[in-house]
Homo-oligomer: A and B are copies of this chain.
Amino acid sequence: MNVANPRFDVYEDRCPTRLVLDRLADKWALLLMLRLTDGPLRFNQLKRDIKGISQKVLSQTLKKLERDGLVTRTVYPTVPVTVEYALTPLAATLREPVEALTRWAETHMPAIAAAQQAYDAGIETR
């Protein structure tokens, strides 16, 4: 990612897998989309739900997702203003593979934790 362009980064070539991996390899992006699968949510609602995310990063991440066509941003002219974020049909197609991944995560978390403990123990006594 560069910042030369004041707008957004321009990705210079490379294979498509690499490009998309670059985007999906974002902790918050996946988490956000997961949270939105049940329906649209407002900005501060997301901020509350996804504990630990700052408003700055939330804002940035939503903007990226919007640019990638994965999320829509709808403004309702209430007072004060209401903004809703929702998944697009494109994002809906992403749901299955992402859920497969989270299922894997939940299933194998214990194995990973065990591997870490073994690894760390091995280093301690070296």
Q: How far is the CA of A92 from the CA of B110 in the complex (A)?
A: 16
Q: Are A120 and B31 in contact (CB under 8 A)?
A: no
Q: Are B98 and A101 in contact (CB under 8 A)?
A: yes
**Residue interface mask A8-45, B partner, CB < 8 A = 1:** 10000000111111111111001100100000000000
Q: Are B16 and A109 in contact (CB under 8 A)?
A: yes
Secondary structure call for the A interface:
helix
Q: How far is the CA of A24 from the CA of B116 in the complex (A)?
A: 15
Of A16, A21, A25, A109, chain B has the most CB atoms within 10 Å of the CB of A21
Check: A7 CB closer than 8 A to any chain B CB. yes
Q: How far is the CA of A69 from the CA of B69 in the complex (A)?
A: 35
Q: Are A104 and B111 in contact (CB under 8 A)?
A: no
Check: A119 CB closer than 8 A to any chain B CB. yes
Q: Which residues of B contact A16 (CB under 8 A)?
A: 105-106, 109
Residues of A within 8 A of B (CB): 7-8, 16-27, 30-31, 34, 66-70, 90, 93-94, 96-98, 100-106, 108-109, 111-112, 114-116, 118-120, 123
